[in-house]
């Protein structure tokens, strides 16, 4: 059985989880803790980013876009890319816009808020762990915070403000779709990519991206301004209509 190595509450990982669930691909999930994950992931890929998908034949695929491309070719139903070539390019352009620009910028603001609250950082990324392990991990977070900030471009107030602005840019982009989809008249990779990224701010209820409870005050202040944006309504609607899972899980899938 193939295995997904992931972070909880990461939009790149949520993209892959969502596609695996929709396509009902048998797999095992293993959540890693940011920081300690590096030894595991670097040995497999030479990099430190998740998601990582080791296959049964020994091949290892990393990066959400590459994994989604593999899934679409190897498990084509349901189709997540349009048949029309022009629309396909539009989908890939949206995916690149979020993966390479909007998502990394939003991540700076999100990580800054979480790093200010080590216990909540541990609750978010250690959601699969026991309370004791979360508590121990929270003691490591302040020590790792300078490296996390440096690695994610959290250089000061301007970078954080830019991340906050990126959230509104993403919401404006999806709000233009109204009650529809981002490309064409069918749900697909563009919608998954945008919704997963913006779920880090919208936090749809009854979804794998719902905030661990109770929500820390610092994080609540960050996400509050996005709540009533028309784009947030689009994210919640997409999740309600297409996510089909209310929580994440560890271990083997049920199918």
Q: What is the pLDDT of residue 44?
A: 94
Same domain, 130 and 99: yes
CA distances from 236 to 25, 48, 116, 227 (A): 25, 31, 27, 10
Q: Same domain, yes or no, for 92 and 67?
A: no
The CATH number assigned to the domain holding 98 equals 1.20.1050
The domain boundary residue, chosen from 76, 94, 114? 76
Is 249 a member of any domain? no
Q: At what angle do helices 189-202 and 11-23 cross, to 10 degrees?
A: 130
Last residue of a domain, one of 76, 109, 130: 76
Last residue of a domain, one of 76, 104, 127: 76
Assigned domain for 248 exists: no
Residues 54 and 114 in one domain: no
Same domain, 72 and 90: no
- Clarify whether residues 147 and 188 are in a common domain: yes
Phi, psi of 29 (to 5 degrees): -110, 135
Q: Say if residue 170 is exposed, middle or buried (CB neighbours under 10 Å; 0-12, 13-18, 19+).
A: buried
Tens of pLDDT along the chain (255 residues)? 899 999 999 999 999 999 999 999 999 999 999 999 989 999 999 999 999 999 999 999 999 999 999 999 999 999 999 999 999 999 999 999 999 999 999 999 999 999 999 999 999 999 999 999 999 999 999 999 999 999 999 999 999 999 999 999 999 999 999 999 999 999 999 999 999 999 999 999 999 999 999 999 999 999 999 999 999 999 999 999 999 999 999 999 999
**Residue 160, in any domain of the structure:** yes
What are the E-state strand segments in the chain? 2-6, 27-31, 52-54, 60-62, 251-252
Residues 127 and 68 grouped into a single domain: no
Looking at the structure of the chain, the number of domains it has is 2
Beta pairing partners, 29: 4, 251
Query: Among 102, 92, 121, 217, which residue's Cα sits nearest to residue 169?
Result: 102
The first and second tokens of residue 124, run together, are 């978010």
On whether residue 45 sits in a domain, the answer given is: yes
| Per-residue model confidence (pLDDT) at position 228 | 98
Rg (CA), the chain: 17
Strands 27-31 and 251-252: antiparallel
Note down the domain range covering 47: 2-76
Is 255 domain-assigned?
no
Same-domain check for residues 128 and 70 = no
What CATH code is carried by the domain that includes residue 51? 3.40.30.10
| Cβ 26 vs Cβ 255: under 8 Å | yes
Check residue 12 and give its pLDDT.
98
Same domain, 72 and 148: no
Phi, psi of 91 (to 5 degrees): -60, -50
pLDDT at 118: 98
Same domain, 71 and 109: no
**Nearest partner of 24 among 255, 237, 202, 184, judged by Cα:** 255
DSSP category for residue 226: G
Does residue 201 lie in a domain region?
Answer: yes
Dist CA 120 CA 127 (whole Å): 10
Is the pTM here over 0.85, yes or no? Answer: yes
Q: What number of CA atoms fall less than 13 Å from residue 239's CA on the CB side?
A: 27
Q: Is 105 found in the same domain as 210?
A: yes
Q: Indicate whether 160 and 220 sit together in one domain.
A: yes
pLDDT for the residue 84: 97
The reply to whether 72 and 89 lie within a common domain is: no
- 60 inside domain: yes
In a domain, 252, yes or no: no
């Amino acid at each position: 059985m193939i295995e997904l190595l992931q972070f909880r509450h990461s939009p790149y990982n949520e993209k892959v989880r969502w596609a695996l669930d929709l396509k009902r691909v048998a797999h095992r999930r293993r959540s890693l803790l940011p920081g300690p994950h590096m030894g595991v992931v670097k040995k497999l890929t030479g990099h430190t980013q998740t998601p990582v998908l080791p296959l049964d034949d020994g091949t290892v695929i990393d990066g959400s876009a590459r994994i989604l491309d593999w899934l679409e070719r190897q498990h084509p139903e349901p189709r997540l890319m349009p048949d029309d070539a022009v629309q396909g390019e539009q989908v890939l352009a949206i995916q690149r816009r979020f993966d390479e620009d909007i998502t990394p910028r939003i991540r700076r603001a999100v990580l800054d808020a979480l790093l200010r609250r080590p216990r909540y950082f541990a609750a978010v990324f250690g959601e699969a762990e026991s309370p004791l392990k979360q508590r121990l991990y929270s003691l490591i977070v302040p020590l790792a915070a300078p490296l996390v900030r440096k690695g994610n471009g959290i250089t000061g107030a301007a970078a954080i403000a830019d991340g906050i602005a990126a959230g509104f840019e993403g919401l404006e982009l999806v709000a233009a779709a109204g009650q529809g989809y981002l490309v064409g008249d069918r749900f697909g990779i563009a919608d998954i990519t945008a919704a997963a990224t913006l779920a880090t701010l919208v936090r749809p209820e009854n979804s794998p991206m719902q905030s661990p409870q109770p929500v820390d005050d610092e994080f609540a202040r960050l996400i509050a301004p996005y709540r009533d944006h028309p784009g947030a309504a689009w994210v919640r609607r997409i999740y309600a209509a297409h996510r089909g899972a209310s929580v994440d899980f560890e271990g083997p899938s049920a199918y």
